[in-house]
Amino acid sequence: MATLELRNVNKTYGAGLPDTLKNIELSIKEGEFLILVGPSGCGKSTLMNCIAGLENITGGAIMIDDQDVSGLSPKDRDIAMVFQSYALYPTMSVRENIEFGLKIRKMPRADIDEEVARVAKLLQIEHLLNRKPGQLSGGQQQRVAMGRALARRPKIYLFDEPLSNLDAKLRVEMRTEMKLMHQRLKTTTVYVTHDQIEAMTLGDKVAVMKDGIIQQFGTPKQIYNDPANLFVASFIGSPPMNFIPLRLQRKDGRLLALLDSGQARCELPMSMDDAGLEDREVILGLRPEQIVLASADAAGMPTIRAEVQVTEPTGPDTLVFVQLNEAKVCCRLAPDVAPQVGETLTLQFDPAKVLLFDAKTGERLGTAASLPVQDRADNVTRIKGR
Amino acid sequence: MTSLAGKSAISLSRIAIYAVLIFAVLLYLVPLVVMLLTSFKTPEDISTGNLLSWPAVVTGIGWVKAWATVDGYFWNSIKITVPAVLVSTAIGALNGYVLSMWRFRGSQLFFGLLLFGCFLPFQTVLLPASFTLGKMGLASTTTGLVFVHIVYGLAFTTLFFRNYYVSIPDALVKAARLDGAGFFTIFRMIILPMSTPIIMVCLIWQFTQIWNDFLFGVVFSSGDSQPITVALNNLVNTSTGVKEYNVDMAAAMIAGLPTLLVYVVAGKYFVRGLTAGAVKG
């Protein structure tokens, strides 16, 4: 159990080459579950290797329990890691795999046996202890890899895309199991994934990365509801947020976004009214679940009639696509609505939930202050819907 | 194919294929048969009979004489080959481990240069090698010859191990480092146990090379410390007295047997994919 803090961590593979990691700043408390998420090549695995000590950083400091470990070798950092490929030692049995780190650390035999028994019970792999990794299924190998990490009771667990080699069903099962395990063990964990659902469901804190830079660091809720920029907004959420490029206009002193479905027009009043927004090219962001069928009791909300172009019934929801301005917009409707293609629906928006992004830079617009990338305090409340 | 009883099993083309194959096998076996038959003949039988004829009297005298001649040299060859094979394989394994898993600045270049060693003809290194051995005080000693074989073999053994180890995922080494293992512990406990197939390949290759070597043997050793290949040459090339072909053949067989034995014993370890399934992705 430990705290982890990254202070201005930089990593480059040589002068003249682009930075692999740039000014990484984040900190998590004891027992927290941190997710590093981003597309491939964003530097999340490099960052994890740096925390583990498998790669050296070129600037900054990595603090574990307020002690700078950036000069220490991996074995002295008291960290355990689960690899995407599991990296089980192929010539050793499951028991030997789990014991290996304990033996190297010269733990007494009796303690080793006790520890192996504890871990095997925890992960329900007692019956596999004498098998070789090659004789195990993917899911079993995954458990053994976890067991090897759990056995040492390290200060911090690192998980490098541990579920990505499992099939879809097993992945969901193991996801739940990992969450349960973390709730029980309460060990500080860093978890790398490119799967935004894993990021949302597992993390206490999420760091969204792109091009070696942390785009946003916060709770899953903050990341989802309050994305710092277009990239975060588009990366998190499935189906992804709708983006409608348009130009804001002022009418009767109110800032408006004009939406056009081809059948009707709608003046969507903006909840924010910062200087410089008027007449500016922006991208309007709306999550699919924030577009609903117009209902009688929500009078006063802006509505628009639009023709259904495609429907995708997923079971729990029906995704309906309509055309608004130049964009194909996805709406997440209840399955019992089940509109037909060509049918016209009346849709309703909540202006308070609409997000605005700069069309050129992708930065979030129209909040009280420009959004800080780092969000150390959990209780930051943003002024929304003034 | 064979499960389908009847016409398709014994078709004309199949007969033709087997006929060609059997012919090829016989062709390859003829030298061995001639050697074996000749080694068991008496000299008189050889001079009167035909190469492929059965011995008039089967006699082991050729083998006894041959062994009496090459006995000491056979053990010389063992003394040269065994340490040279073991040391060059061990160093090659370590080299390959470093060049694939602990890359350093310039390690690719180093490996590239090392590869040149594989293309160097024996003849080109004779003078520099004898010069070096002389300086080291190892000229005309078994140790010196072993040393030359080790150095010359390193290019090959390093290449074998390096190419085998690049296919082992880095994650294994990373995991072991996090488990607290150091350079040699990882090599000994993780990497070496996975290396059985390549060790066998390397042993066979090096054994064959060094046991069969003639040039280094004739240049870097003298008198009683010469390997069996040189002794065999001396025996066959004697110009005094009657040519005893039965002894020559038996001696050649004795000289060739150990390599054959190595193939038979170690060949079954030529199993690939011992690591299959351990690491996914």
- Of A260, A262, A232, A231, the residue nearest A244 (C-alpha): A260
Percent pLDDT > 90 in chain A is 53
Res B269: pLDDT: 65
Sign of CA dihedral B127, B128, B130, B134: positive
The beta-carbon neighbor of B281 closest among A79, A133, A165 is A165
Res B274: pLDDT: 39
Summarised one tens digit per residue, pLDDT across range A164-184 is 888 888 889 889 988 998 999
Residues of A in contact with B181 (CB under 8 A): 75, 100, 104
User: Could you state, in order of their start, the residue ranges of all structural domains in chain B?
Assistant: 63-267
- Of A367, A36, A9, A374, the residue nearest A196 (C-alpha): A36
Interval A206-213 mean pLDDT: 93
In this prediction, residue A334 has a pLDDT band, given cuts at 50, 70 and 90, of confident
Residues of chain A within CATH 3.40.50.300 domain(s) are: 4-235
Res A373: pLDDT: 42
A132 near B CB under 8 A = yes
Whether residues B178 and A100 touch (CB distance < 8 A) is answered with no
State which residue of chain A sits closest to B169, comparing Cα positions: A87
Fold of B63-267: MetI-like fold (1.10.3720)
B178 near A CB under 8 A = yes
B128 near A CB under 8 A = no
Interval B225-248 mean pLDDT: 86
State which residue of chain A sits closest to B185, comparing Cα positions: A104
> Which residue carries 């997440």 as its tokens?
A332
> Distance (Å, rounded) from C-alpha A123 to C-alpha A146?
8
Whether residues A83 and B175 touch (CB distance < 8 A) is answered with yes
Res A375: pLDDT: 42
Whether the pLDDT of residue A379 is over 60: the answer is no
Whether the pLDDT of residue A219 is over 90: the answer is yes
Burial (CB count <10 Å: 0-12, 13-18, 19+), residue A374: middle
State which residue of chain B sits closest to A94, comparing Cα positions: B278
Percent pLDDT > 70 in chain A is 93
Res A1: pLDDT: 65
| Residue B260 C-alpha, separation from nearest chain A C-alpha, in angstroms | 30
Encode B207-221 in three state secondary structure.
HHHHHHCCHHHHHHC
Residues of A in contact with B177 (CB under 8 A): 54, 73-75
Residues of A in contact with B274 (CB under 8 A): 90-91
Percent pLDDT > 90 in chain B is 52
For the domain bounded by A4-235, which CATH number is listed? 3.40.50.300
Phi-psi region of A237 (alpha: psi -120 to 50; beta: other; left: phi over 0): left
A64 near B CB under 8 A = no
Half-sphere exposure of A313 (CA within 13 A, CB side): 8
- Global pTM exceeds 0.95: no
A6 near B CB under 8 A = no
Burial (CB count <10 Å: 0-12, 13-18, 19+), residue B192: middle
> Distance (Å, rounded) from C-alpha B211 to C-alpha B82?
9
Instruction: Give CA angle at B257 (B255, B258), nearest 5°.
Output: 95
Report DSSP state, residue B191: I
Res A298: pLDDT: 65
Whether residues A81 and B279 touch (CB distance < 8 A) is answered with no
Summarised one tens digit per residue, pLDDT across range B18-57 is 999 999 999 999 999 999 999 998 888 888 878 888 888 8
| Residue A98 C-alpha, separation from nearest chain B C-alpha, in angstroms | 10
Whether the pLDDT of residue B5 is over 70: the answer is no
Whether the pLDDT of residue A372 is over 90: the answer is no
| Residue A95 C-alpha, separation from nearest chain B C-alpha, in angstroms | 14
Higher pLDDT, B268 or A111: A111
The beta-carbon neighbor of B279 closest among A80, A85, A104 is A85
Whether residues A75 and B178 touch (CB distance < 8 A) is answered with yes
Fold of A242-365: OB fold (Dihydrolipoamide Acetyltransferase, E2P) (2.40.50)
Interval A108-121 mean pLDDT: 93
B105 near A CB under 8 A = no
The beta-carbon neighbor of B180 closest among A81, A89, A105 is A105
Query: Considering chain A, what is the average pLDDT of its residues?
Result: 87
B71 near A CB under 8 A = no
Whether residues B190 and A91 touch (CB distance < 8 A) is answered with yes
Higher pLDDT, A273 or B112: B112
Whether residues B178 and A74 touch (CB distance < 8 A) is answered with yes
| Residue B191 C-alpha, separation from nearest chain A C-alpha, in angstroms | 9
Whether the pLDDT of residue A337 is over 90: the answer is no
A100 near B CB under 8 A = yes
Residues of A in contact with B276 (CB under 8 A): 134
